[in-house]
Amino acid sequence: MAASPTATALRATTSPKPPDRFRTLLGVVAATAPAALLVIVVVLLQQAWPSVTHFGLGFLTGSAWNPVTLQFGAWPGIFGTVATSLMALVIALPVGIAVAVVLAEQGQAGVRGAVGIAIELLAAIPSVVYGIWALYVLGPWTFQHLESPVSDRFSSIGWLSTASPRSLFTASLVLAVMILPTLTAVSRDVIRAVPRGLKENAIALGSTWWETTWRVILPSARAGIFGATILALGRALGETIAVTMVIGNNYQIPQSIFSPAYTLASVIANEFTEATGDLYPAALVELGLVLILVTLSANVIALVLVRSATARAAI
């Protein structure tokens, strides 16, 4: 904001501190956020260094995890993390976009308001509560009514065989519930940012609600919804506690989606306090480093996409 010369003169005579110093102070305080991010990455890199130099790139492709013989590889963890997150996205995406489309509509304030609040409460529930619920309610239920019948029926198909109450699939279901609020909230904002004129033109040409949504609104919100999807993917990749409680903690590439597996974050959560020596904790931190680098890049890509999609509406 540009102040006139007289205002500047006035301020100079009345204020004990020149205004620029306040600005510098705030700028330095605000710098704690980027600084924290930088320090996190640097500290993790430094802590993981023994493992990084010992295993090199082979760490990413190795599939052993043996604290006794000090053989460590991240591949089963990476696989479990990516597989649960992608399955969660596949489950959550159609639901999330449907809710976002409904919430972005004009009118029916009562219903939309209630649904909006409910979705926000879904985001507020702590992940450990989702964990205990999935462990004692969701996991046993899906095992009995979904996993067992399906795996009995299709036992010849490898990736659908051998059901287990704690599995890749259960973890994906919980993750799907947990990323739904992110997916919905961001997609809703992106859909709202689609220029009104586009929608009005489509309606004026005689399009139905479905044709307007499917052929006009969603295509023009595509980049932003893609951003929202990546943002939700980032959340799913980093989610720890709920997944740790239901994934079954089996450090192998699982046979089927109903088998126990492991994720990067869960290995750290379960083993870090018991890790002794130099190489073992360093290998665990390197898992964290892999995780944070993947989520950081996903987040940056997603934020750039979402911002350019919502900024367009402001113009």
Partner 1 sequence: MNRNRRRQSINYSSIAIAYALTGLALIPLGLVLWFTIAKGLPAASHPEFFFNVERPVDVPGAGIAHAIVGTLILVGIASLGAIPIGVLGGIYLAEYATSRWTDWVRLACDVLVGTPSIAIGLFAYALLVAPFHHFSALSGSGALAVLMLPIIMRTTEGAVRLIPSGLRESGLALGLPRWRVSLQLILPAAAPGVITGALLSVARASGETAPLLFTAFGNPFLNTDPTQPMQSLPLTVFHNALLPYQSLQEQAWGAALVLVVMVLLINLTSRYVLRRQIRLAGQL
Residues 73-132 that bind partner 1 (CB under 8 A): 94-96, 98-99, 101-102, 115, 117-122, 124-132
Instruction: Please identify which residue in 39, 60, 205, 311 interacts with partner 1, judged by CB under 8 A.
Output: 39
Q: Would residue 278 be called left, alpha or beta, if left means φ above 0 and alpha means ψ between -120 and 50 degrees?
A: alpha
Q: Which of residues 178-197 bind partner 1 (CB under 8 A)?
A: 180, 184
- When asked if residue 2 is in the footprint of partner 1 (CB under 8 A), the reply is no
Specify the stretch interacting with partner 1 by CB under 8 A; choose among 5-13, 69-77, 191-199, 216-224: 5-13
Site membership for partner 1, residue 252 (CB under 8 A): no
| Stretch 291-310: interaction string toward partner 1, x if CB under 8 A | xx--xx-xxx--x-------
Cβ 12 to partner 1, closest distance in Å? 9
> Which residues ranging from 261 to 280 are in contact with partner 1 (CB under 8 A)?
265, 268-269, 272-273
- Nearest to partner 1 of 150, 243 (CB atom): 243
Nearer to partner 1, 133 or 223 (CB): 133
CB of 47 to partner 1, least distance (A): 5
# residues near partner 1 by CB under 8 A = 90
| Residue among 39 and 60 whose Cβ is closer to partner 1 | 39
> Cα–chain-centroid distance for residue 274?
28
Instruction: Indicate whether 135 belongs to the interface with partner 1 (CB under 8 A).
Output: yes
CB 253 to partner 1: min, Å: 22
Tell me how far, at minimum, the Cβ of 54 lies from partner 1, in Å: 18
Per the CB < 8 A criterion, the answer to whether 248 and 164 are in contact is yes
Is residue 169 involved in binding partner 1 (CB under 8 A)?
no
What's the min distance (Å) between Cβ of 96 and partner 1?
8
Alpha-carbon separation of residue 159 from 86, 237, 257 (angstroms): 15, 22, 6
Sign of the alpha-carbon dihedral angle for 237, 239, 241, 245: negative
Is residue 209 at the binding interface for partner 1, with CB under 8 A as the rule?
A: yes
Least separation in angstroms between residue 161's CB and partner 1 is 27
Give the nearer residue to partner 1 in terms of CB position, either 151 or 188. 188
Q: Which of 50, 73, 165, 234 binds partner 1 (CB under 8 A)?
A: 234
